[in-house]
Amino acid sequence: MNYNQQGVTLIEIAIVLVIMGLIVGTGLLSGQSLVQGGHAKEVIETASDLIGAVQKFKERYHYFPGDLPDAGDDISNIPVECDYSRLEDPNAGNGVIEAATISSKKSELFCAAIHLYQAGFLKSNPNNEIGGYIRTRFGQIHLISRSDVADQTKIPTTVRNVLEFEGLPFEIAVELDIALDDGNISTGKMLADDTTRTSLADGDVVQIVNYFIVPL
């Protein structure tokens, strides 16, 4: 009988557990990074598609979506609340996507997404979304005038309308800025509120920018 054989020591067990923990932790971080990268790509594609859609709409109809007077004359299946004449909406056609409600009609802000979809420039129907607006997985996107943005002082006065993204995590906002601007959310053409608020998402603490602005 060999009395020199020894069992596994506590130190050896501890080393194995540490190594396993590092492996699992690295795997989780890689998984989170992949998920975040996928979400960022999704938001970037949405922003790019919307910018292109608004440009094409303006080229075709000579007005911004939502600001097009008598939209039903040019676009099929425009709901009555988004088909207004200049008499019903004195601001129709003024080059600004108004957020104010128009008597019995919807606001230009609300109708902008409807105009884009019915003209064939949006893939998903905003009528199926909450409030008729376009959304990312993080929140709504507003096509809105500069003057209706909460902190308009950071937006150049030459800009009349913007895309306003709500609820973007800080990291996603940075990725969006890298893809479309200078990579700094506080400078350049595209701006985010550089102060953040904390939110819980799936049990994780996430830093959320209050808004992300893309000029149109």
SS3 135: strand
pLDDT one-digit tens code per residue, 7-23: 556 666 666 566 666 65
pLDDT at position 131? 47
| Helix, strand counts (H, E) of the chain | 4, 7
DSSP string, 59-75: HHHSS-TT--TTHHHHS
What Cα–Cα distance (Å) separates residue 135 from each residue in 17, 62, 130, 165?
Answer: 44, 25, 9, 8
CA–CA gap between residue 50 and residue 71 (Å, rounded): 19
Amino acid at 124: S
DSSP string, 200-214: EETTEEEEEES-EEE
Q: How many CB atoms lie within 10 A of CB 106?
A: 19
Amino acid at 114: I
pLDDT one-digit tens code per residue, 13-71: 666 566 666 655 555 444 455 456 788 888 888 888 889 999 999 999 999 999 999 99
CA–CA gap between residue 213 and residue 33 (Å, rounded): 25
DSSP string, 153-165: GGS-TT--EEEEE
pLDDT one-digit tens code per residue, 172-181: 999 999 988 8
Mean pLDDT of the chain: 80
CA–CA gap between residue 206 and residue 33 (Å, rounded): 14
CA–CA gap between residue 74 and residue 57 (Å, rounded): 12
pLDDT at position 28? 44
| Surface-to-core class of residue 175, CB atoms within 10 Å of its CB (0-12 exposed, 13-18 middle, 19+ buried) | buried
Q: Are 122 and 116 in contact (CB under 8 A)?
A: yes
CA–CA gap between residue 205 and residue 26 (Å, rounded): 19
**Is the model more confident about 216 or about 102?**
216
pLDDT at position 197? 72
DSSP string, 174-198: HHHHHHHS-S-TTSSSSEE-SSEEE
